[in-house]
Amino acid sequence: MMMLLLASFLFLLTHLGVSSSPLRSMLINGMGERGYLGIYSLLAAATLGSMIYVFIQVPHAEFVWTPGVVEHAIAKALMPFAFILLVSGLMAKNPTSVGMDSAVNEPLDGILKITRHPVQWAILLWAVAHLVANGDQASIIFFGTFALVSAVGMAAMDARRRVREEPAWQQFYATTSYLPLAALASGRTSLKINELNWLAIGIGLVLFVLVYIFHSWVSGVALY
């Protein structure tokens, strides 16, 4: 278990200790954005790979809670939304994404009116769903790490960008929200049904069904 803790710590350190800290700006100033992104991508891939490898190797027999029907139902309810957010976010022009700052000057995509961090929320929902559905110590460490990186990472992204004084950025943050549906609920923005990317929603649901059916091929655990 110590190896999983170490691998998870290194993954956290790479994401929150580098990309979400003042060190990021220092590295970009020193080696340029492309150089930084190249090295960061290698570190992220290495730490993620080691984390997954160790997670597969460690025993999953020490339970904090024993998942039952309720826990599995919660996970199954969350996952369709995770897939929809993931695909919709990947198909949207999001100014908070790497290399897409210029998208802040374009009309706001429908999914961004729900949350300005759809992909990160997809990862967070995925992590929480699997954490709840497993309940063992290894899964809590593994999936909890992803949940923490996503939740804190979204806040760090906002902290870097919302201080920008350009009117477009001020407008973006005034009409979008960190929490899903918060900007809509507060009346800071409005959403029409035709503003949603229904192709992305359809693809997300199809992917959910495929992963549900073939889940045992990926994880060794059937969901039905």
pTM reported for the whole predicted model: 0.89
Segment 101-138, tens digit of pLDDT? 888 899 899 999 999 999 999 999 999 999 999 999 99
d(CA 128, CA 1): 20
Segment 144-179, tens digit of pLDDT? 999 999 999 899 888 888 888 788 999 999 999 999
Segment 73-94, tens digit of pLDDT? 999 999 999 999 999 999 999 9
Reported as type and span, the H/E element at residue 3 is helix 2-14
| Number of other CB atoms surrounding residue 152 within 10 Å | 14
| In the chain, % of residues over pLDDT 70 | 90
Buried b (16+ CB within 10 A) or exposed e, 166-176: eeebeebbebb
